[in-house]
Amino acid sequence: MQRVTATVQNAQGIHCRPSTVIVKEALAYDGKVTVTGEAGSCDLRSVLGLMTLGLKQGSPVEIAVTGPDEAATAKKLAALFERNFDFPPRAEG
């Protein structure tokens, strides 16, 4: 099992759209992925489960990955939690 920690960077936290992106990545993985925040933990294959954690900007999360290529998968998922999402991208100006 590989465990990594990340801090949510998105200004609006992990709401519906970022949750979908993160869960889609977890669904592509053949092993088990669990995320734990201050409000509890969930299987990362559930958008609703992830959203119920109420992850806001600055929230710490622990990602636990069990299966093939654990380290790379954990690193990739941690990067998604630390990504600044912008849906849709805002025009500069």
What percent of the chain shows pLDDT beyond 70?
92
| Stated length of the chain | 93
**What does the pLDDT average to over 43-53?**
96
CA–CA gap between residue 45 and residue 88 (Å, rounded): 24
CA–CA gap between residue 73 and residue 63 (Å, rounded): 10
Q: How far is CA 49 from CA 46, 58, 68, 72, 91, in A?
A: 5, 19, 23, 23, 32
| pLDDT interval class at 87 (50, 70, 90) | low
Known catalytic residues? Answer: 15
Choice between 89 and 39, residue whose per-residue pLDDT is larger: 39
- Does 86 score more than 90 pLDDT? no
pTM of this structure = 0.89
